[in-house]
Amino acid sequence: MIDTLLRCVATLAVFLVLPLVIGQTEHKVMAHMQGRLGPMYAGGFHGWAQLVADGVKFAQKEDIVPAGADRKVFQLAPAVSLLPYLVVLLAIPVGPGGFVGQAIDAGIFFVLAVMGIGVLGSLMAGWASANKFSLLGGLRTAAQLMSYELPMLLAAASVAMAAGTVSLPGIVDAFHWWWIPWQALGAFVFFTAGLAELQRPPFDMPVADSEIIFGAYTEYTGLRFAFFLLSEYAGILVVSALTTVLFLGGWHGPMPDSLGWLWTLLKTFALAFVVIWLRVTYPRLREDQLMRFAWTGLIPLALIQLALTGIVKVAIS
């Protein structure tokens, strides 16, 4: 009982800290890559306290609900969008020997299922704002989710097939180094589709600021808006950690197993860096390009990976 409680509190702590670290990294990495000066003064060295200042600013702002909005749904939406990531984080293994919030038998399934709920938050926000831009953003979110969920599931299924289990710690246990070339296609598909589900650039059509202001989140202010932002960073954490666990071998690395958690963390942050890097590098995809990329690019690739996994699996068994 105490043990379970402790694990939950630890997960909550990770959930509250790491997304903020990723957010801070994003500020600074973007500033360096694009040569933006940006806020460099808050707190002294490199403007390290800017994130704190942002948090204070969000907390001070008035919480406004538009007059024509559906109050309850509008207010509930940020929670629906944020909480699934917290629940997912509970199931991601960090190190060997039960170093996981809660070992779940059907881990992959659980994680992908719960992540899908988060999008309901964007849909609710988009509809309840009583704003055409928000509604458009919500619609784009839904279309994007439905297109990219399939390749993501197929890529995850390929790893489950390779490992012969759907439990996340079981998959990391079964990992060998030659899985990386074997599952490379799947890793690419999973990571890209994950990026699209988070609506991160270059897949940020649903929040395209030059067309629809900020999509489903246009009408939000203050803490509720901050929750949406936080859920985006938590999403980066979850997708990076899942890619690490499924495709990059999680805690495996050239050091004793007791330091396995360090490898998981390192790989996760390397991937989070790639997410930020992609944001700075690529322009936004148009809606039709986005759909074509999912249906004619990622899904065939995921199917090829599935076939490849099956052939190799039969050949070595």
Contact positions vs other proteins (CB under 8 A): 68-70, 73, 104-106, 109-110, 112-114, 116-117, 119-120, 123-124, 126-128, 130, 135, 138-139, 142-143, 145-146, 149, 166, 288, 292
Q: How far is the CB of 294 from other proteins (least distance, A)?
A: 13
What values do phi and psi take at 214, rounded to 5? -140, 35
In terms of residues, how long is the chain? 317
Residue with smaller CB distance to other proteins, 9 or 113: 113
Torsion angle of alpha carbons 34, 35, 40, 44, nearest 10°?
110
Of the candidates 7, 8, 26, the one whose C-alpha atom is nearest the C-alpha of residue 269 is 26
Measured at the alpha carbon of residue 156, what is the angle toward residues 155 and 161, in degrees to the nearest 5? 100
Answer whether 240's CB lies under 8 Å from 272's CB.
yes
Q: How far is the CB of 91 from other proteins (least distance, A)?
A: 11
Alpha helices in the chain (DSSP H): 2-33, 50-60, 71-89, 107-128, 132-163, 168-173, 179-182, 184-197, 209-212, 222-247, 260-281, 287-292, 299-316
Q: How far is the CB of 141 from other proteins (least distance, A)?
A: 9
Q: How far is the CB of 183 from other proteins (least distance, A)?
A: 21
Residue with smaller CB distance to other proteins, 18 or 145: 145
Q: How far apart are CA 250 and CA 314, in angstroms?
A: 25
Q: How far is the CB of 92 from other proteins (least distance, A)?
A: 15
Answer whether 21's CB lies under 8 Å from 234's CB.
no
Residue with smaller CB distance to other proteins, 127 or 203: 127
Residue with smaller CB distance to other proteins, 212 or 248: 212
User: Would you call 287 helix, strand, or coil by DSSP?
Assistant: helix
Residue with smaller CB distance to other proteins, 61 or 71: 71
Q: How far is the CB of 150 from other proteins (least distance, A)?
A: 10
Give the contacts of 68 (CB within 8 A, at least 6 positions apart). Answer: 130
User: Would you call 282 helix, strand, or coil by DSSP?
Assistant: coil
Q: How far apart are CA 170 and CA 153, in angstroms?
A: 18
Q: How far is the CB of 305 from other proteins (least distance, A)?
A: 20
Residue with smaller CB distance to other proteins, 160 or 272: 160
Q: Could you count the other beta carbons within 10 Å of the beta carbon of residue 13?
A: 10
Residue with smaller CB distance to other proteins, 87 or 195: 87
Residue with smaller CB distance to other proteins, 3 or 288: 288
Q: How far is the CB of 105 from other proteins (least distance, A)?
A: 5
